[in-house]
A and B are shown apart, each in its own frame.
Chain A
Amino acid sequence: MSDIVEKTLTALPGLFLQNQSVSGPAAAKASFSSRLGGLVRGITALTSKHEEEKLIQQELNNLKATVSAPTTTLKMMKECMVRLIYCEMLGYDASFGYIHAIKLAQQGNLLEKRVGYLAVSLFLHESHELLLLLVNTVVKDLQSTNLVEVCMALTIVSQIFPREMIPAVLPLIEDKLQHSKEIIRRKAVLALYKFYLIAPNQVQHIHIKFRKALCDRDVGVMAASLHIYLRMIKENSSAYKDLTGSFVTILKQVVGGKLPVDFNYHSVPAPWLQIQLLRILGLLGKDDQRTSELMYDVLDESLRRAELNHNVTYAILFECVHTVYSVYPKSELLEKAAKCIGRFVLSPKINLKYLGLKALTYVIQQDPTLALQHQMTIIECLDHPDPIIKREVLGEYSYLLDKETPEEVITKLYKLLRSDSISSETKAWIIAAVTKLTPQAHSSNIVERLIQEFTTSLDTCLRQHAFELKHLHENVKFMKGLLPVDKSCEDMVVDASLSFLDGFVAEELSQGAAPYKPHHQRQEEKLSQGKVLSFEPYGLSFSSSGFSGRQSPAGISLGSDISGNSTETGLKETNSLKLEGIKKLWGKEGYLPKKESKTGDETEALPVPQENIIMENVDQIITKNDQSQALTQSKEEKEKQLLASSLFVGLGSESTISLLGKADTLSHKFRRKSKVKETKSGQTTTAENVTRSSFSSSSNVTYEEDYYLDNFQDRGDKEIKKFSLNSELLDSESLTELPLIEKISNCRLSTPSLFAVNNMEVFHPPQSTAASVANEISLASSLLEETTEHMHSDLMEVCHNETISVSSYKIWKDECLLMVWSVFNKSASELKSANLEIAPAENFKITEQPGCCLPVIEAESTRNFQYSVQMEKPFTEGNLSGFINYQVMDTHSVQLEFSVNLSLLDFIRPLKISTEDFGKLWLSFANDVKQNVKMSESQAALPSTLKALQQELRLHVVDIIGNEGLLACQLLPSIPCLLHFRVHGDMLALWFRSSCSTLPDYLLYQCQKIIFHYRLLQDIEYNSLWYTLPF
């Protein structure tokens, strides 16, 4: 085979020359020396998939060698990257190049950076661990003075960005909304929209900025902001009713031709903008007469103005008709719109016909008589060659019954069925239509004849439809219920995921049935066994009848959808069964319904308990620090313990740790008021507690912030109204408001990330409390002696229902990570056969620790499950999921799923070595990373920085020499990483070395994060003083 490839390759230049003479200048432009060209030429000359695979594999091997060679320059790397993109596009795995793509984006000059960013955005996905390494580059480029760099950074942000790192770039992007270049403003708006999509909570506070973007002096920026508004109004139209006037005004100006001519597209003013605005108006005016009245004029004008000279005018017209029919109806407009539809359905252009038919469904829903004028056209469409059109037509047909009785229609359709001129596919559609009509018909002679005739049809699809009709026909009452007359216009919602079978599947699985395997997997397995015939030639074919059967609009092909389960269609459709496209409910392991949705819920739900824990901690700290408050505080403490003990009888009144999460939610309601005072005193505590007191202020801020933010929102709204009269004013006056808003947003966005840092802080409570807490735990369970010896995280609730609550915490043991899940039985009855299982995860080795094995959890007591986790492959963030099931009394078993996030930090331990060993190790490591980080002034002191790093990253301080420090840590089980750092001025030079190539990058990122947060904390502390001022 390699001979053939070789021959082909040698023949290539000749082939290419031929090509060139045919295709002229375009091919000539591609330089001969270009290696991509060579690759492409090679591929195009190949004839079989197998040869292609071989060639690409060879190419990838070459590339792999090139990219990892130290002599490869960035310029060569850029070229390699383009080839890698090409290979990936063809579906080959080029994952070895991902890290190099990131490096290229980090280190290259503008052009190389552009390729690097492009490659990253094509290769990676939002939750890819490597993406975190890009965050710093993006931050840097956003601050660049070069517009092209800023544009590139904004583009990558809007395409792919890790959700948890949004706070790092959000303020920078918000600044870009004030940028002098409109293209930057516009891209910034879209980047913010992206954030709104992936993390709506984080951009909540900048709604006011969206409004400013809407009033931007540049139309492009305004148009970009409409994306955001369309989305937000879709979600909650009532909150934006006040903007209706603005949207109407904009549309009026656009329709009236007030825009500069360079917005015209085929002499239609800004068509896409018009479409967008019409959609927004349609959403705003839905079921709202008052709002709708505002827009009647402009809709009328749009309908009138649309001169049908270009395709895109139809686009506007269609949107307009849609809007007219979705807002509160006005008969005059409805009629005009219905007339417009005539232009669609009568058009010879097939696309317009299709949309016209679609628009007719809107009309029929409002008023069938308006559609009658088009009836003849619809019937004509039946003979159209496009199956999709036919489908639409038949869908409509059954509702145009005003003049004719159902019998007549059925007779007509029956005649149509018997004619030979139409395809069997259309016939299937017609039978479906007949099925729908039958319950309304009184006599059923024709139907019976039809059934008789077609149940013996040779076409399986027709036969199937006929059988369906037959069975339905035998049970008329059921049929009427199934196909109600009045509801026939509504689309039926078909549960494509077949979720109603979930219970059945779960039951079968639990009884040992083999999990379902998708078709291609079965095929693969069969092939690998090598015993069966190859189905290759048929694998790709798509039987047209099978396709139409499944693609049918839910409305009319109900019958076929139901029978989708029957073996008959099952057999017929296996070839084109496309399970992947549907929501991913079935994985290789079988059924996986809740895991995915769970992760979504989790992230939503997490901040709350975390916040509680932190506030609790803050409270404790304040108790410690503030002597004057001690008395009242202890009273409250007692009160709380009382409360808690009444909740957790089995635990004894002093077991605090598992209460942290629980009792806190109850108690902090009572405590909120007193807290403001406490915080103030907290702020005046000694320098040692700087970070802690600032926690309290920051959590404090979250309460007050909302209030101020609301205020701003209100003010902002008023401002906008005012300024829409005079836009010049907006700029000048809002400038004074701006710093305030920004400061608020700063705080808001930083709070969630603060918690992340807090989490680490939390495991260093003052020694006495840590010990006592630990003792109490060990009272509750003898298993947890480790907690006293090792650092551990706070208890965090991972899932709960009315009977149980599952919390978890991490214990960072020297040799592994110990995860403890404690299950608390809230109910008064005992739980039987309780079992907690952790799903095997790719990167981890999980071993269950022996514990008490009784599968019974007594009423109001806690059981702990322990698992030791070891890392098998380095990663940055991982997820551990599992479930708990149990039985209450003798009822059926209940299953509850949960998941916990693990980060690489969980597996980092101090490495205790001497300065000499450090020196030796330092020289032996090949991978190093250097970076300068700016610090705030107060942080500049070496000891405090060291302490922060030591505590939060668990680095071991080997030595301190002057203004230089040596630190060491190891990634479990035994990958060492060394850090050398030096302070000069307010700069901190970090230098990492390790035997692992990715570890230094990751640690650098973590260090920066800590230093960054540290800086933020101090900013917030400063700001929070400002917040307490009344204004």
Chain B
Amino acid sequence: MIQAILVFNNHGKPRLVRFYQRFPEEIQQQIIRETFHLVLKRDDNICNFLEGGSLIGGSDYKLIYRHYATLYFVFCVDSSESELGILDLIQVFVETLDKCFENVCELDLIFHMDKVHYILQEVVMGGMVLETNMNEIVAQIEAQNRLEKSEGGLSAAPARAVSAVKNINLPEMPRNINIGDLNIKVPNLSQFV
């Protein structure tokens, strides 16, 4: 399970903070600070894992981080998560941000903090990995964005907008797998893409 996701910049300013386990406010700040100091002094040519710290939960927990330009993305996870898997999950998250913001940079994270949270919610839900398929995540976010647009017309034409909101359909792709049956139906995806 993922315990916390922290994003801060090269100066340690938090840009996204999401804890999936409860910590008092001051402890949260302390965790952010100390995590920053831990990863800051690590060169780019050494490994991206930190283990056995006493920061969160003790020896069962590890920090897995990636450094992108001005930002550090740090995931704190317990032993049930795979290090390399999380490393790629960070990549997926960042790539998704990039898709949603078009050339994402630190400023996007600051000015659209709420949106970043919504994107994260589609990737990780309550500490569990929900979706790793970038297209799916983007589809979900776009469905929400459509909502936002229709919301703009809400005051102008309430009835129309309301029905539009009501009719919002999240895209669903039939993706079948059967346990006992080796015959997997692979749908013709071209029509959905």
Contact = CB atoms under 8 A, between A and B. Distances in A.
B140 A118 contact: no
Interface in A207-233: 214-215, 217-220, 222, 224, 227, 230-231
A262 interface: yes
A261 B186 CA distance: 9
B178 to A, nearest CB: 5
A29 B169 CA distance: 28
Contacts of A187: 125, 130
A627 interface: no
A719 to B, nearest CB: 12
B44 to A, nearest CB: 10
A260 B189 contact: yes
A727 B181 contact: yes
Contact of A355 (B54, B83, B111, B165): B83
A250 B147 contact: no
A581 B56 contact: yes
Interface in B121-142: 121, 125-126, 128-133, 135-136, 140
Interface in B57-110: 57-59, 80, 82-85, 87-89, 92, 101-105, 107-108, 110
Nearest to A214: B179
B156 interface: no
Contact of A578 (B34, B48, B84, B189): B34
A36 B82 CA distance: 37
Contact of A260 (B88, B180, B186): B186
Contacts of B126: 155, 158-159, 190-191, 193-194
Contacts of B125: 155, 158-159, 187, 190
A756 interface: no
Nearest to B48: A351
Contacts of A581: 31, 34, 53-58
A388 B49 contact: yes
Contacts of A109: 151, 154
Given A26-B103, A122-B18, A148 B58 contact: no
A713 B41 CA distance: 54
Interface stretch (A89-97, A420-428, A771-779, A812-820): A89-97
A222 B177 contact: yes
Nearest to A243: B179
A181 B47 contact: no
A722 to B, nearest CB: 9
Interface centre among B14, B31, B133 (most CB of A within 10 A): B133
A249 B107 contact: no
Given A111-B148, A727-B180, A25 B102 contact: yes
Secondary structure class of chain A's binding surface, majority of residues? helix
B25 A723 contact: no
A312 B147 contact: no
B177 A262 contact: no
B14 A89 contact: yes
Interface string B147-159: 1100100100000
Contacts of A191: 126
Interface in A939-995: none
A561 B129 CA distance: 36
Interface string A589-613: 0000000000000000000000000
A29 B170 CA distance: 26
B110 to A, nearest CB: 5
A861 B112 CA distance: 67
A264 to B, nearest CB: 9
Interface stretch (A314-322, A477-485, A880-888): A314-322
Given A40-B110, A354-B49, A265 B132 contact: yes
A23 interface: yes
A315 B85 contact: yes
B151 A315 contact: no
Interface centre among B56, B118, B125, B186 (most CB of A within 10 A): B125
Nearest to B37: A542
A434 interface: no
Contacts of B82: 275, 279, 315, 318-319
Contacts of B20: 159
Nearest to A117: B121
Interface centre among A90, A110, A115 (most CB of B within 10 A): A110
A550 B25 CA distance: 25
B85 to A, nearest CB: 5
B117 to A, nearest CB: 5
Nearest to B21: A125
A234 B50 CA distance: 24
Given A36-B111, A550-B54, A183 B172 contact: yes
B183 to A, nearest CB: 9
B175 A263 contact: yes
A474 interface: no
Contact of A265 (B88, B111, B180): B88
A629 B25 CA distance: 60
A431 to B, nearest CB: 19
A190 B130 contact: yes
Contact of B84 (A183, A218, A222, A312): A312
B104 to A, nearest CB: 7
A249 B113 CA distance: 42
A315 B89 CA distance: 11
A458 interface: no
Contacts of B17: 89
B85 A110 contact: no
A540 B37 contact: yes
A580 interface: yes
A193 B130 CA distance: 12
A86 B88 CA distance: 28
A354 B47 contact: yes
Interface in A73-129: 82, 85-86, 88-91, 93, 109-111, 114-115, 118, 122, 125-126
B191 interface: no
B173 A388 contact: no
B107 A315 contact: no
Interface string A306-346: 00000110110011000000000000000000000000000
Nearest to B181: A727
B160 interface: no
Contacts of B140: 183
A215 B47 contact: no
A147 B168 contact: yes
Nearest to B135: A262
Contacts of B55: 578, 581
A272 B132 contact: yes
A145 interface: yes
Given A114-B118, A219-B177, A86 B113 contact: yes
Interface string A867-881: 000000000000000
Given A253-B184, A542-B34, A550-B54, 14 more contacts: A40-B111, A85-B114, A219-B175, A220-B131, A260-B186, A261-B189, A262-B189, A318-B82, A350-B46, A351-B83, A355-B83, A496-B59, A542-B38, A578-B54
The 3 closest A-B pairs by CB, nearest first: A315-B84, A724-B180, A158-B126
20 contacts: A118-B114, A146-B168, A147-B168, A148-B143, A148-B147, A148-B165, A182-B172, A217-B178, A219-B175, A220-B136, A220-B175, A224-B128, A259-B184, A262-B135, A351-B48, A386-B46, A388-B50, A581-B31, A581-B54, A583-B58
Interface of A: 19, 23-27, 29-30, 34, 36-37, 40, 82, 85-86, 88-91, 93, 109-111, 114-115, 118, 122, 125-126, 145-148, 151, 155, 158-159, 181-183, 186-187, 190-191, 193-194, 214-215, 217-220, 222, 224, 227, 230-231, 234, 246, 249-250, 253, 258-263, 265, 271-272, 275, 279, 311-312, 314-315, 318-319, 350-351, 353-355, 385-386, 388-389, 496, 540, 542, 544, 550-554, 578, 580-583, 723-727
Interface of B: 14, 16-18, 20, 22, 25-34, 37-38, 41, 43, 45-59, 80, 82-85, 87-89, 92, 101-105, 107-108, 110-114, 117-118, 121, 125-126, 128-133, 135-136, 140, 143-144, 147-148, 151, 154, 165-166, 168-170, 172-173, 175-182, 184, 186-187, 189
